[in-house]
């Protein structure tokens, strides 16, 4: 199956060199992409696309603030280029989703990231929710009926969860370190209204390895995905659970992201689309390389024989509360 990536120099223009989420991290992320992966140019979203998931006031505020350098909160900034760059990030996520619909695995290596951005709020390095925009545009065009979004970033994807919390067209699965920013994503957050039962959160205790991740994927996420039978699988791909990423306390190694990618590929006969979220450690590029190798057909075997008791307890709890 074909495989491509979307990235470009435009994403370096949203930059603050002293910040963890700076232009340099994308250079690291793309440093080990295997030869033969087709590189496609970024595509730009319309402002109206953003407004499918964000309130107009939020979009207008960021457009206004991006006339200069501003901190939106203690960790989220904009400069004079940020609004334009964010349009390219959302548009490239949309393009990756379209490529997956057309039969090609595609990874949108973009920034700023998006999964923390809520309908009315930028936070956690994120301005607009790129992956949510991609899903919403496909719904608006009547190209899909059901979309699964799996988020393996170190942090809970609070923005994506909030956007689709009442929506039974989206199955949102997030595995993340428990108790850290944004201090959400607990097992009892399962959706509301029509969306009740369509949110699955797996907060792992610090120190999680691929054994813990594989256990959750194989015992909870993959069966849920099979029941949901999505038309498209989107992945919020944050590689900050790496053991050398100082923003967290997880213990994944670069090759483990090949394992997670193969697990996602095993649950659907359709291509998958990935959108970059976090990832700040020195081995981030190696992890991205393993993702592409998995997409290209390299086999990675899941293991969970050394999963911790706390992870087994989490799995038992999640199995009890699944609703749909």
CB 172 within 8 A of CB 200: yes
Which class for 308: exposed (0-12), middle (13-18), buried (19 or more C-beta within 10 A)? middle
274 SS3 class: strand
Phi then psi for residue 276, to 5 deg, are: -65, 135
In whole angstroms, how far apart are CA 200 and each of 149, 156, 251?
Answer: 10, 11, 22
DSSP 37: P
Q: Tell me, yes or no, if 313 is annotated catalytic.
A: no
Q: Which of 14, 116, 155, 284 is catalytic?
A: 116
> Closest by alpha carbon to 12, among 130, 91, 110?
110
Give the span between the Cα atoms of 271 and 150, in whole angstroms.
Answer: 14
Rg for the chain (alpha carbons), in Å? 18
Q: Which residue has the tokens 């949110």?
A: 199
Which class for 48: exposed (0-12), middle (13-18), buried (19 or more C-beta within 10 A)? exposed
Which class for 142: exposed (0-12), middle (13-18), buried (19 or more C-beta within 10 A)? exposed
The residues annotated with a catalytic role in the active site are: 116
């Amino acid at each position: 199956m074909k495989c491509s990536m979307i990235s470009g120099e435009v994403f370096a223009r949203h930059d603050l060199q002293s910040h963890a989420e700076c232009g340099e991290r994308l250079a690291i992320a793309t440093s080990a992409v295997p030869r033969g992966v087709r590189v496609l140019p970024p595509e730009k979203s319309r402002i109206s696309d953003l407004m499918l998931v964000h309130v107009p006031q939020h979009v207008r505020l960021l457009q206004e603030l991006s006339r200069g350098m501003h901190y939106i909160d203690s960790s989220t900034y904009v400069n004079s280029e940020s609004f334009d760059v964010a349009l390219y990030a959302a548009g490239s996520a949309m393009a990756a989703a379209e490529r997956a619909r057309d039969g090609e695995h595609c990874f949108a290596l973009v920034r700023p990231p998006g999964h923390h951005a809520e309908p009315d709020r930028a936070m956690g390095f994120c301005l607009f929710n790129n992956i949510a925009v991609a899903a919403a545009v496909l719904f608006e065009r009547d190209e899909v009926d059901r979309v699964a979004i799996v988020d393996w970033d170190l942090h809970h994807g609070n923005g994506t969860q909030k956007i689709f919390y009442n929506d039974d067209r989206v199955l949102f699965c997030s595995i993340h370190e428990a108790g850290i920013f944004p201090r959400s994503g607990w097992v009892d957050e399962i959706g509301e209204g029509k969306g009740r039962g369509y949110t699955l959160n797996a907060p792992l205790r610090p120190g999680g390895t691929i054994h813990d991740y594989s256990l959750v994927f194989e015992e909870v996420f993959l069966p849920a995905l099979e029941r949901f039978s999505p038309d498209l699988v989107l992945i919020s791909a944050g590689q900050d659970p790496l053991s050398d990423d100082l923003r967290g306390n997880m213990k994944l190694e670069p090759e483990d992201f090949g394992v997670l990618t193969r697990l996602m590929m095993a649950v659907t006969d359709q291509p998958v689309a990935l959108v970059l979220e976090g990832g700040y450690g020195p081995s981030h590029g190696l992890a991205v390389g393993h993702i592409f190798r998995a997409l290209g057909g390299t086999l990675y075997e899941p293991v969970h024989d050394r999963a911790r008791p706390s992870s087994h307890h989490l799995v038992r709890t999640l199995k009890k509360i699944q609703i749909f």
